[in-house]
Structure 1
Amino acid sequence: MVRPQWIALLALSLVVAGLFAWLGQWQLGRAIDTAPLPPGATEEVRPLADVSEPGEYLPEPFVGQRVSVTGTWVPGDFIIVASRFNEGVEGYWVTGQLRISDTAPPTSIAVAVGWAPTQDAADAAAERLNADAAAGSAPMAIEGRLISDEGAVPPPSGADPQTLTRMSPAALLSRWSDTAGLEVYRSYIVAEVPQGGLDEIVSAPPEAGSAVNWLNIFYAAEWVIFAGFAFYLWYRLARDAWEKEVEDLEDARAASSD
């Protein structure tokens, strides 16, 4: 184990373990940085640009933050998301692409504009909203809660392949029009005032969070384990090589005695 190659491998293990330790410390810092906001802070309506930026993940303390933004609807981009529950009743959301005013490059955010109890009602509302957007309208102010991307999932077995069951701006972006050079928010807004004859989406204030972000604590513990594994891997490789050398010497002695 004191041979040059094993000393060099140990030095490499120290570097790797040091990197993992730094990542663990960074995760612990994140656990502190993401402490919850003061009680009631999410109920204060804030400009969207003050809370999040296009392309960024929504920080945990701001999930459910009430925000405001002004923009225009992009015609043809009102899309239905299925399996949405409103006060325990399953139904459908109608979502739209809101092109935010006065942004360069052009920037959009997905907005859930309302809830419908049936597919037919959702289809009719989407058709009305698309027609209104195509006719042209002045920019409008939208207020609502800012929510994190739920992540795209495949449609249920046997369903239409175009069926969406999760509210995912990334999945909606693939179906939007006029997206060349477009920047998009990863989060989405649940509008407080429904449109197109839809029902209001009931969106309760977020519950008060813990002062400790346990997910980041878990990640920090993982990095510590990885750092320990780097040393263990060096030890096993060196020990296996040493044991093989001992076996070879014993075999050589046995052969010479014969």
Structure 2
Amino acid sequence: MGRVYRFLLTPRWWGINVFVVLAIPFCVFMGSWQLGRFEDRVQGHKDASAQSTANEKAAPRPLDSLLPVDQKTSGKRATATGHYGRQLLVPGRELDGRTGFYVVTLLRTDGSAGPGGGDGKALPVVRGWMPGAASAAKAPAAPKGEVTVTGALQASESPGSNGASAAGGLPTGQLGAISAASLVNLVPYDVYDAWITLDTADAGMTAVPATAPQGSGLDLKAFQNLGYTGEWFVFAGFVVFMWFRLLRREAEFTRDAMLGLTDSPTETTQEQEQAPEPSPEASPRG
């Protein structure tokens, strides 16, 4: 039996064996790493859901104590006081399966002398959502005088997240994403790199629910990690399968050659080398 598997000591099989020994642990490592990424995303989704429930029950805190916005503070209830200033609309936002628009009003916080003056910063406040095409005539006017708002703190949007649009050419008074970068050229004062959505929408509008922090949900990337996990483990199994198949095939060929059922590759080569070449006299003449 040992003579049958003597081919395993040949240089060709040394190369095959080294490849298998290296490939299998590598595939298992990569599959385990992708599985770990998927599990981290699942755990992050669970943590975000638990945090969202806790945020709804927690007492609101002053805005400045929650800045800058990160995964821990996103969704927490914040409160701020000031005067409402310019109002803008964010078109193309969906809620409960319907398309509509957000009504965003800038709240001039401490340091402002009212709607028209002062050096205080402005906080974008989503006062609610309305169905249909964005229309300034349909959007309710903001309350006058000093107001205190309470709502869920949110990070500035980036194009492509939460329905935010990167398309330009919007009509005056509209913006594609709620962010300081989008507002910097629209208002003559500083804007917080954050925004809040009111717990209770103003009259005639529907409250906009807070969104989970970016990267904490079960998005397409999470399931891509799961798919890659399966691919790496399948490839590891394929390497083992092919190694056994080649081993069995080579062993059967060697065994048949030992029994004289077939010629070994060495004998076949020797016979070809020893075969006499036909002489010129033996070739037919025309």
TM-score (norm 2): 0.47
C-alpha RMSD of matched pairs (Å):
3.3
Listed one character per residue, the Cα deviations across residues 212-238 of structure 1 (whole Å, up to 9, x for unaligned) are: xxxxxxxxxxxxxxxxxxxxxxxxxxx
TM-superposed CA distance for 1:161, in Å, is 5.9
Measured in 2, the distance between the counterparts of 1:87 and 1:191 equals 17
Contact 1:155 1:164 in 2 (8 A): no
In structure 2, give the amino acid aligned to 1:123.
A
Cα deviation per residue 1:170-215 (whole Å; 9 max; x = unaligned)?
2123222xx2xx33210111112222522222336779x69xxxxx
- How many Å apart are 1:41 and its aligned residue? 4.5
Show the counterpart of 2:122: 108
**In structure 1, what is the Cα distance between the partners aligned to 2:137 and 2:200?**
18
Q: Partners of 1:92 and 1:171 in 2: how far apart?
A: 17
**2:56 equivalent to 1:47:** no
Equivalence for 2:81: 70
Q: Report Cα offsets for 1:78-124 as digits up to 9, x if no partner.
A: 1110111112221100111100135785121111111110126x422
Structure 1 position 48, deviation (Å): 0.7
| Cα distance between partner residues in 1 of 2:211 and 2:193 | 21
CA distance in 1, matches of 2:145, 2:175: 30
Of the three residues 167, 171, 183, the one matched with 1:155 is 167
Gaps of 5+ in 1: 1-34, 211-258
For 1:85, which of 84, 89, 94 is the aligned residue?
94
Give how far 1:166 is off: 2.2
Contact 1:82 1:166 in 2 (8 A): no
Q: Quick one: distance in 2 between partners of 1:47 and 1:165? A: 28
Greater gyration radius: 2
Letter in 1 for 2:190: E
Q: Tell me the distance in 2 between the aligned counterparts of 1:41 and 1:202.
A: 15
CA distance in 1, matches of 2:69, 2:146: 25
Structure 1 residue 95 corresponds to structure 2 residue 104: yes
Judge conservation of contact 1:125–1:197 (CA < 8 Å) in 2: no
CA distance in 2, matches of 1:47, 1:72: 16
Change (3 A) 1:88 1:51: same
In structure 2, C-alpha distance between the alignment counterparts of 1:95 and 1:160, rounded to whole Å:
15
CA distance in 2, matches of 1:193, 1:173: 27
Change in Cα spacing, 1:198 to 1:169, as seen in structure 2 (3 Å) is: farther
Q: Does 1:124 align with 2:137?
A: yes
User: Which structure ranks higher in relative contact order (CA pairs < 8 Å, sequence separation ≥ 6)?
Assistant: 1
Distance verdict in 2 for CA 1:161–1:206, change over 3 Å: closer
Provide Cα deviations, 1:147-177, integer angstroms capped at 9, x if missing partner.
Answer: 1111255427xx646553322232123222x
- Asked if the contact 1:169–1:188 (Cα under 8 Å) also holds between the matched residues in 2, the reply is no
Aligned with 1:145 (options 152, 155, 158): 152
